[in-house]
Amino acid sequence: MTPKGQQTLKDELARLKAEMPKISQEIGVARDHGDIKENAEYHAAKERQGLVAARIADIEDKLSRAEVIDPSNLGGERVKFGAIVVLEDLDAEKSVTYQIVGPDEANIDEGTISVTSPVAKALIGREVGDEVKVKVPGGLRTYEVVEIRWD
């Protein structure tokens, strides 16, 4: 995981932990409304509490096992984890830029793809000028590696 991905998880963890006392208060208020067997507010708050607790445990586990790799300390001529890769989509005749990151921090809208994605797997080990064919849900795509950066 990158330092940015680690910080995103830490921020989410802090937000969720701050939310837990509010959920406990909601449960208490809902319980005061009477019979909890037919109390939708109570059941909704309990369900939310369970979901938040599960997410907290998941994030804590990921953070405890994470190996944080700072891409700015990396370099080289070949694509690997952390690289920012500029590709020319030879089929669509357009340029795309992706950073290869860990699975938990991948977000195609932000230009980050998981190291386990078909595109990233096809790019790993490639150099500038290499053509890469990737089977994606939309069919077979052909890319040319135009640039590799380590920002």
What is the DSSP secondary structure assignment for residue 92, as one 8-state letter?
T
Q: What is the mean pLDDT of residues 32-50?
A: 82
Q: What is the mean pLDDT of residues 93-120?
A: 91
Q: What is the pLDDT of residue 90?
A: 86
- Coil/strand/helix, residue 142: strand
Q: For residue 17, which amino acid is it?
A: K
Residue 100 has pLDDT above 80, yes or no: yes
Q: For residue 5, which amino acid is it?
A: G
The two three-digit tokens of residue 92, written as one number: 């669509």
Closest CA to 23 of 60, 55, 64: 55
CA angle 18, 66, 70 (to 5 degrees): 105
pTM of the full structure:
0.69
Q: Which helix (H) or strand (E) holds 13?
A: helix 3-31
Domains and CATH numbers, the chain: 3-65 (1.10.287.180), 71-149 (3.10.50.30)
